[in-house]
Structure 1
């Protein structure tokens, strides 16, 4: 048990910085309120699990790369906000942590806590090596607040609160088993949150693919339409644009050409007394080079644009023929 109660006022902040740095990991604490700083820190061990309860006045905590270098062991920590609120930042994500929420963080990367008022929090620290969870999965969970009103968080919260209150009462054998149980629970928590993040990412990717497809359809007549212009319009990198289309069975460049050829084929098959020239149709749908258009058209339809127009006019309808369907399938398959 460490407390500022018996420490002279002028030494309280220095004492508290030393206390939390030795008990948890090296960090910098800056009080936010007026008057003497008041803090209390109780810590127990359950095998390799470190369980701490912190009660303190408003403050800011930061863990910088220089401080990380002073503590070589890697921990994954779960904070349980018992009272008060906090703002937590890690890995570029910002979480508003309310009473009853959980927050996961990795002590090997910089982080920042801001407690605007007096608070209490349970902190559970585990060596990262015992979790058996890929670092990439942990990175998806850090910097997020986990609601404990439903889902796995609702199961985990009462267990952790009880464990923190009674950690001092267990025999070494029981403590080791409890530590193993906590590892399993933490691993399950990370796995659940990773699935949720992945599902959110999949939904966002699907939405972006639909937006890109709509953009292509709306801009087919622009000869400058390209993966580069599409990426710029959606404020993403060309590399990311290609990545989100990996599951679409066709590259962005091939999709642009396929859609242009489809529209050219439809227009050339349309019956009209004042039919536009083949070159005018090609230009309207973004083809600048007539020779390139003719080669691409023949590769899909099996005939030249003029032959296609004659055949469709003779048939008397505007529906694409068998050659068109086979060609589109070929385009989709050959997407390298």
Structure 2
């Protein structure tokens, strides 16, 4: 049965479309989800507890630009099978990288089983049979999936065959840094423009390639440009996550990534930035966003600045004026003036 595609929300213009099972009749929801999975990724056999079928709930946010499709799935428990028969029926020759954002799951392929928790990364090869499952004891799980052609992963074929049973743990080593990149992408996927999605999705493949090379103990198989881009992306996420730390300095960043200070500066110079300048720009952007937020109108300006790592109020004010042409107080006042119902400004 071909089901009518439900109405998507209005986020498509920003590069993301959301499709919900709640937009179709209850008795058709799991069947619709089954069909949608086949259209988005590859034909699958989906199964869930019969008692859940008529109250099944799931949604997927889709950002589909260039060779990489990013999808953020929120779903009730169910099982996904990619069988030999379905592979013969259709083999798009793609990989899917999954990052558990909430809940958990498991995957069985090539005789091995991998249990997954929040932050873990796993590669799915749609050209070979596998079974995956969202944790049955968790009411709702969320996973970020990146779908991309096999040819985008620049690793030797003999190594690619080993990837089906490789779990990249999200709590240590290179896996932790890669996991943070993916979790940040999941958190902000609905805010990204088309251009940003293309750039970040491609970076995600670089990050994955480097992490898989490390997990397979073949880092030398990863091309040097890919390793550099992946490392730079992970450093950017690390900085973004620690912006509020006044001790976020180039030496601390270099130490956290086990590289020399000189190499850290070289990475940023290749992109036309300095480390300190990039940190300052991100901090100013965060302050700019908070000062424009009506929900934070009662918070003192110096408290907002301190939250994002500016310990010197005078220095913050000068930097903000240089970046935006207004003092923080003037900018906040302008924002309050254009907001309907604004009663004043702190």
Q: Which runs of 5+ in 2 are unaligned?
A: 1-17, 220-346
Question: What is the alpha-carbon distance in structure 1 between the residues aligned to residue 20 and residue 195 of structure 2?
Answer: 30
One of 66, 84, 89 as aligned partner of 2:85: 66
2:74 paired with 1:50: no
CA contact (8 A) 2:168 2:211 kept: no
One of 149, 155, 158 as aligned partner of 1:127: 149
Question: What is the alpha-carbon distance in structure 2 between the residues aligned to residue 10 and residue 170 of structure 1?
Answer: 34
The structure that has the greater radius of gyration is 1
Question: What is the alpha-carbon distance in structure 1 between the residues aligned to residue 169 and residue 111 of structure 2?
Answer: 20
Question: What is the alpha-carbon distance in structure 2 between the residues aligned to residue 188 and residue 62 of structure 1?
Answer: 28
One of 153, 161, 164 as aligned partner of 1:142: 164
Q: Counterpart in 2 of 1:21? A: 38
Quote the RMSD (CA, aligned, Å): 2.1
CA contact (8 A) 1:20 1:27 kept: yes
Q: Which runs of 5+ in 1 are unaligned?
A: 198-336
Residues 15, 95 of structure 1: alpha-carbon distance in 2 compared, 3 angstrom cutoff = same
2:175 paired with 1:153: yes
Encode CA deviations 1:209-258: one digit per residue, 9 max, x unaligned: xxxxxxxxxxxxxxxxxxxxxxxxxxxxxxxxxxxxxxxxxxxxxxxxxx
Question: What is the alpha-carbon distance in structure 2 between the residues aligned to residue 171 and residue 5 of structure 1?
Answer: 26
Question: What is the alpha-carbon distance in structure 2 between the residues aligned to residue 165 and residue 41 of structure 1?
Answer: 14
Residues 100, 156 of structure 1: alpha-carbon distance in 2 compared, 3 angstrom cutoff = same
Q: Counterpart in 2 of 1:30? A: 47
What TM-score comes out, normalization by structure 1 length?
0.54
Question: What is the alpha-carbon distance in structure 2 between the residues aligned to residue 95 and residue 106 of structure 1?
Answer: 14
Secondary structure (helix, strand or coil) at the match of 2:23 reads coil
Question: What is the alpha-carbon distance in structure 2 between the residues aligned to residue 146 and residue 5 of structure 1?
Answer: 33
Encode CA deviations 1:86-120: one digit per residue, 9 max, x unaligned: 12101211001112211112111111012213311
Q: Counterpart in 2 of 1:10? A: 27
CA contact (8 A) 2:168 2:212 kept: no
CA contact (8 A) 2:93 2:150 kept: yes
Residues 5, 171 of structure 1: alpha-carbon distance in 2 compared, 3 angstrom cutoff = closer
Question: What is the alpha-carbon distance in structure 2 between the residues aligned to residue 173 and residue 10 of structure 1?
Answer: 38
CA contact (8 A) 2:70 2:201 kept: no
Secondary structure (helix, strand or coil) at the match of 1:108 reads coil
Residues 155, 46 of structure 1: alpha-carbon distance in 2 compared, 3 angstrom cutoff = farther
Secondary structure (helix, strand or coil) at the match of 1:5 reads helix
Secondary structure (helix, strand or coil) at the match of 1:133 reads coil
CA contact (8 A) 2:61 2:73 kept: yes
Question: What is the alpha-carbon distance in structure 2 between the residues aligned to residue 192 and residue 78 of structure 1?
Answer: 16
**Paired positions, count:** 197
Alignment of 1:293-308 (within 5 A): none
Secondary structure (helix, strand or coil) at the match of 2:215 reads helix
CA contact (8 A) 1:137 1:190 kept: no
Residues 97, 33 of structure 1: alpha-carbon distance in 2 compared, 3 angstrom cutoff = farther
Question: What is the alpha-carbon distance in structure 2 between the residues aligned to residue 86 and residue 141 of structure 1?
Answer: 18
Deviation, structure 1 residue 183: 2.5
Deviation, structure 1 residue 12: 1.3
Deviation, structure 1 residue 78: 1.2
